[in-house]
Structure 1
Amino acid sequence: MANIVITGSTKGIGFGLARAFLDNGHNVIISGRSEETVSSALDRLHAPTAQCRGLACDTAELSQVEALWEFAEATFGTVDIWINNAGLARTGWSIQDIPQQEIAAMVGTNLLGTINGCRVAAAGMRKQDEGKIFNMLGGGSDGEYFPGMGVYGTTKRGLDYFTDALSRELKDTGILVGKIRPGMVITEAVIREARQNPDRFASSRRFMNNLVDQVETVSAYLAEKILDCNKSGEKIRWLSGGKIAARMLVGLVRKREDQFARHGL
């Protein structure tokens, strides 16, 4: 049984990971920006208090991340796995058109928040002499370009480098550092952007439908791989290049069931 902390886990893939770990008997600390979102997520998880607790945490604030570690340590004694999942995707703008506040929000959460999480978790795990830290990557982390994702992709590309650097710096410790690449998952953010820009969504719907997956499907796979991972620097990837190619080929001859319909899109 592992003790696991997941930042940004009141919704989306983070919430899905929390549910997957809990369903398999592990202990989980969830977090989100506000007490209201944390409380709501705990209610939806329906897990015993002894197995799942939550704390509000803005990962861009170092003191709040430190408080999250202390809370987890006080609750479960040790932290075996720390997952930096908190992230923001504000897409659809060119680099010149994106509002400044959206740039600051993504850089603050995606980069600074993850760096804070890694530093705090690494310090705590050094005292334990072991532990696993995983960073959530995303579109752009491999250097690929997606229209409207210039700033978001830049933050994720930076995280890829940072995670490699941290893995090397901790190679002589008992701390494993890994990457998670979840692929295209239908989260609340995807649904929100589809509704905000229905024309753009309609034009890309058929293509996206071949590649997207549901949160629960991806989360169950990732949770299993995270628990099994025993090599630092490893990237856990759901949507591999081979899987993408296979889906696109199949999509030419057989229409995939609409993945968006269940979300009212």
Structure 2
Amino acid sequence: MNSISSNRLTGRVAVVTASTEGIGYGIARRLAQEGAKVMISSRKEENVIKSVQKLTNEGLSVSGQVCDVTNAEHRQSLFKNTKEKFGGIDILVSNAGINPKLGYVLESDESSWDEMFHVNVKCSFLLAKEALPYLRERKGSNIVFVSSIAGLHPYPYIGAYSVSKTALIGLTKAAAKSLVTENIRVNCLAPGIVKTKFSTDVSSNLNQRNSKLNMTSSVGRIPMQRSGTIEEMGAVVAFLVSDDASYITGETIAAGGGIDCRL
């Protein structure tokens, strides 16, 4: 059942990429709980079907589509079908990201670097660019890029990933300034350590390398002494795309349990 009493997003339509699990799922669910119609997406059809069914069973207004963000036809179809299904697009949350290889930043090989920046940065840029005509049709639209606390305070052993996430913070600032006169706000979420399959896989790989940078030791350095939840990340995004944040654009909100993430 819908346990969120707020209806701040009633009448809005949101597209959330990589949203069948983890942080993306938490964002999509929260936006729908607050009244938005949400198009979720994933590279795997079975994940889309499963997540749509789960959210629909909660009484939420969602639909789903397969979308590999590196595929131009998939991206364009995602927006086209969302408008056909729900009548328009008010919100884009660009959440898709990868971390194909661990290591210090200058030890990254060229192919891993290119792949990471292609997915994490270029495809986020392309999604926003291709969504823009739809967002311009609506009043008070929003774009949210999902970065990472590592983009504010780089983690040594995920160096290239950290740099790609820093680039999203720059993209947020630049896009926000260029769209401010069009009443389109652009903001960024920088999650800290959130227990998801993605973060668990990274932590597992670090443990295998006997690194001191595993998730357990990292959580111990968080002032709140715990990892975050996907629900908490969803709540931040729901605020950013709501009218409660109407005077906020070009900002990166760090949700990291009090970690000092100043550059």
- Please say whether Structure 1 and Structure 2 have the same fold, judged by a TM-score greater than 0.5: yes
Secondary structure at the counterpart of residue 128 of structure 1: coil
* Greater RCO, CA 8 A, separation 6+: 2
Secondary structure at the counterpart of residue 151 of structure 2: coil
Unmatched 5+ stretches in structure 2: 1-9
Q: 1:60 to 1:244 in 2, by over 3 A?
A: same
Asked whether 1:176 is paired with 2:192, we answer no
How far does residue 214 in structure 1 lie from its aligned partner after superposition?
2.2
Aligned to 1:205: 216
The amino acid across from 1:233 in the alignment is G
Aligned to 1:79: 89
Find the partner of 2:118 among 68, 83, 108: 108
- 5 Å matches for 1:1-265? 1=10, 2-47=12-57, 51-90=61-100, 92-98=102-108, 100-142=110-152, 144-198=153-207, 199-200=210-211, 205-209=216-220, 210-227=225-242, 228-230=244-246, 231-239=248-256, 243-244=258-259
Unmatched 5+ stretches in structure 1: 246-265
Secondary structure at the counterpart of residue 171 of structure 1: helix
The amino acid across from 1:205 in the alignment is T
Q: 1:130 to 1:190 in 2, by over 3 A?
A: same
Alpha-carbon distance in structure 1 between the residues aligned to 2:60 and 2:235: 22
Per mean C-alpha deviation after superposition, the further-off stretch among 92-101 and 215-224 is 92-101
How far does residue 115 in structure 1 lie from its aligned partner after superposition?
0.5
Alpha-carbon distance in structure 2 between the residues aligned to 1:101 and 1:40: 33
Tell whether the 8 Å contact from 2:105 to 2:156 is kept in structure 1 after alignment: no
- Percent identity, please: 24
Q: 1:69 to 1:136 in 2, by over 3 A?
A: same
The amino acid across from 2:48 in the alignment is V
Secondary structure at the counterpart of residue 172 of structure 1: helix
**Normalising by structure 2, what TM-score?**
0.81
**Normalising by structure 1, what TM-score?**
0.81
